[in-house]
Amino acid sequence: MLITNIPLEFYLVLSAILFVIGAVGVLTRRNAIIIFMSIEIMLNSVNLTFVSFSIYFGDTLGQLFVFFVMAIAAAEAAIGLAIVLALYRLKQTVFVDEVNLLKW
């Protein structure tokens, strides 16, 4: 059986770095579409952690969880991009700091 001889920590640290890059994107960008892509990066880094722990413990459940996370991400992308479209029709902008309809 072919198995990787890379330590588990390498995968965990890589996924932490990717999560931080995604979080920086969410916190600093103002374009709603790029914020969505940053959220996808964060979800992907968590998936990498799930898969590496699944292989480490020899359990299928981690990969099933990745399957569910992917389904949730697909639903979230569909709804979120529909919201961006509706927002662009209403305000002619995709910048999240120009949308202050609920701010008094």
Residues 29-88 that bind other proteins (CB under 8 A): 29-31, 33-34, 36-38, 40-41, 44, 47-48, 51-52, 54-56, 58-61, 63-64, 66-68, 70-79, 81-86, 88
Least distance CB 23 / other proteins (angstroms):
4
User: What is the C-alpha to C-alpha distance for residues 39 and 87, in angstroms, rounded to an integer?
Assistant: 19
Residue 101, SS3 per DSSP: coil
Measured from the Cβ of residue 102, the count of other Cβ atoms closer than 10 Å reads 5
Task: Establish if 90 lies at the interface with other proteins (CB under 8 A).
Answer: no
Task: Establish if 99 lies at the interface with other proteins (CB under 8 A).
Answer: no
User: What is the C-alpha to C-alpha distance for residues 98 and 104, in angstroms, rounded to an integer?
Assistant: 13
